Amino acid sequence: MESSKLKISVIGCGWLGMPLCLQLIKNGFEVISTTTTKSKLALKTRYFELVLFDVTKMPPSQSLTLVDVIIYNIPPLGLGEVEQFFNTINPIVTPIPKIIFISSTSVYGKSLGSINEDSELLPTSKNGNNLKITENYLRSRFKQITILRPGGLIGENRHPIHFLKGKSGLTSGKELLHLVHRDDCIESITQIIKKHIWNEDINLVNDIRIQKEEYYTKEALRLGLVPPQYINNPEINPTNISNEKAKNILGIQFKTLW
């Protein structure tokens, strides 16, 4: 099947999912997506097919799974809720959809030094652990799956400093920054589909590697916000996640964040 005829299901039409759907349409793909918000359903007659769906409450319709590619873009859930969705895909139906799973750099962990996609996953948070379990489950179930691990998302109307402004007692100041622009995520997903890049794990993080304390203090002052206050918590071997694979196989040139 020609790439321009591919049907793509985007599970989760939120801050990342909506512009992703629009970009996929511009590239000639047929798109169906999901929302948990009834007011968004009017979009289906203007842009693409949009259906009401909550992965935690209902099984998906066949229109969401009888596609060529499923992009699973849902915040971290327990394995049981993830299985509830993917177990509805009939393993004997041809073709079985290819999967792009939006994971996170939180699957790695802290104080690990320089790491890449082949490094051991040692998550220190509940979300990171859920994502690690989900990654393993999906690899065991699907033959063609690519896992994206974006850092903290930044972009239009969204900047982490708005969640951190004025906070005190933060302990992560000496950790290294791992952010990625929404546009880079969208372009990466598009390139995976167009270039048929499957069975890969790919980190999506910007080139900037300065301490979080320095970056967020400067960004708060630039935007006229109260800077967050960090506890002096030395970090001897901060995790430093490589983005070279994304550059090499996807051709991504990450946007600057300053």
* pLDDT profile of the chain (258 residues), mean per 10: 74 95 96 92 81 92 94 95 91 84 97 98 97 97 96 94 97 97 98 98 97 97 97 94 98 90
CATH architecture of 3-156+180-208+240-250: 3-Layer(aba) Sandwich (3.40)
What was the pLDDT predicted at 47?
Answer: 82
Question: Residue 1: its pLDDT value, please?
Answer: 42
CA atoms within 13 A of residue 17's CA, in its CB half-sphere: 25
- Return the number of other C-beta atoms located less than 10 Å from residue 194's C-beta: 15
Tell me what pLDDT residue 34 has: 96
d(CA 9, CA 181): 22
Cα 107 from Cα 183, distance rounded (Å)? 22
Task: Give the residue ranges of DSSP H helices in the chain.
Answer: 17-26, 62-65, 79-86, 126-141, 161-164, 182-195, 212-222, 244-245
Q: What is the pLDDT of residue 3?
A: 45
pLDDT score recorded for residue 94 = 67
pTM summary value = 0.95
Residue 84 is predicted with a pLDDT of 92
Domain ranges of the chain: 3-156+180-208+240-250
The verdict on whether omega for the bond into residue 95 sits within 30 degrees of 0, i.e. cis, is yes
Contact indicator for 220, 90 with CB cutoff of 8 Å: no
Q: State both tokens at 35.
A: 């929302």
